[in-house]
Structure 1
Amino acid sequence: MYYAILAYHEEEIVQSWTPDEDAAVMAGLLKTHERLCREKRLGPSARLGSTAGACTLRGPGEGIVTDGPFAETKEQFLGLYVVDCADRDAAVSIARDLHRSNPTAVYEIRPVMLYLPGVPLAESGQE
């Protein structure tokens, strides 16, 4: 089963890191990435750009585009990982590995159902 691990952090804190501090966090995260790649368990992952460059589409019809994500939270959604795991506990274990490298981040773990052209949808095994 696939799980999304969504990474949240206070954007101002991340942006305040020196290049060396950022590189140290990324080096730790990349150790987990490399292990998951060797195990063929890592799907797409991304570090998102600044929320200052984000926009939101909402509303009926064609919708209206507004600036920013307008999240009413202290942390912002800054990145994600898609991992192939046997169960939720395995996904939580990976999130813990990521958390060791970036302990001030928050990681949300969710089951993912992939939508692939021409492939019937699998039964949802969400836990």
Structure 2
Amino acid sequence: MSEATATVLNDDELSLTSPAQGKMMELIGQVEEEIKGVRVYATPGGCSGISFGMTFTDQLNDNDSTLECDNFNVIVDADTMQYLRGVEIDYVDRGDGNASFVFNNLQPVGSSGCGTCGSSQGGGCS
């Protein structure tokens, strides 16, 4: 069985800030098994109609795209990529124990009733 090959993304399609890359590298350093990268995925729900999550993965599928970062890859399937095109993933630590990955420049999926979630201002929907 041959290994899947993924389309390589450029920074215009999806990008990570330095704080996001640093936090992902820190988290990957805590994983004991070998992984292919960090998978970003979309699920129905959340205030913008879509919620995003991240998990470590050892799978690379035919419909995946990858963003190559220093020492790791961000992996996104084609269905999720339609929501993430042009998005910047940031990591924000507010210093009060409240830190999270934030997806900036999300395009609205539908009507949103809760402030900045899914807006160009950055949503904390992750």
Structure exhibiting the larger radius of gyration computed from Cα positions:
1
How high is the TM-score relative to the length of structure 1?
0.29
Instruction: Give 1 or 2: higher strand fraction.
Output: 2
